[in-house]
Amino acid sequence: MEDFAQRLAQIQERIEAAERRSGRSPGAVKLMAVSKTRSRQEVEEAYRLGLRLFGENRVQEAAEKFDAMPADTELHLIGHLQRNKAKTAAASVVCVQSIDKFETAAALEKHCAELDRTMKILLEVNTSGEVSKEGVTNQAQLIPLIEAVLDMTHLKISGLMTMAPFTDDQTAVRASFSALRKLQEHLVKVFPETDFSELSMGMSSDFELAIEEGSTLVRVGTSLFGPRK
């Protein structure tokens, strides 16, 4: 518990320093605790220390681990969503950050409609060009997806998400984040009535670079919880 509190304080200090360096307002960047593979006890410890925003990669794990957590817990799905898991996602999370296909969005819309709830989504963009990563890779894919989602009454676009390449080359990492910010600026002009304000980018190894490039939400797991047991 003490170790976790120390790591949390250090991460918050680093976030605040990155905000200052980039001329951002204090508190402009949200910290998400990525709790995949972590225990319910670890999640509860994080909650007791003030964290409310959590990210999980797998729908079933998220549903089981966060069952009966306090109502102010905000759980996002940050991993790939399969269509056959959309029903569980619709009932378990408040936001899916990984929408990159019409079929997935349509399945999620269907189950949100059945539950009479509106869900935030982020559109996942592959800005690194790596074939191993999910996400749309060009505007020819993205624009029709946005137009389709805008016709859905139970999904609300809130922004974009990306993952930088896993490399020590900070120029490449920064370029990946910069590309998402520039895309956001373009989409605001094309769809002026749509909310693209959330930029979910930056993880344990690169969240300070992401903040400097405009991230509004960083997804931190290992640096926060420590090495996996």
DSSP conformational letter for 206 = T
Residues 134-148: tens digit of each pLDDT? 999 999 999 999 999
Crossing angle of the two packed helices 2-21 and 40-48, in degrees rounded to 10: 60
Q: What pLDDT score does 161 carry? A: 98
Tokens of 130: 């790596």
116 phi/psi in degrees, rounded to 5: 55, 50
pLDDT tens per residue across span 8-67 = 999 999 999 999 999 999 999 999 999 999 999 999 999 999 999 999 999 999 999 999
Residue showing tokens 């797998």 = 58
Residue range 154-183: mean pLDDT, rounded:
96
Domain that holds residue 58: 2-225
* Count of structural domains within the chain: 1
Whether residue 1 is predicted with pLDDT greater than 90 in this model: the reply is: no
Candidates 195, 229, 227, 224; CA nearest to 10 is 224
Q: Name the pTM for this structure.
A: 0.95
Residue for token pair 């709830």 = 117
Which helix (H) or strand (E) segment holds residue 24: the answer is none
Q: What CATH code is carried by the domain that includes residue 179? A: 3.20.20.10
175-223 residue pLDDT tens? 999 999 999 999 999 999 999 999 999 999 999 999 999 999 999 999 9
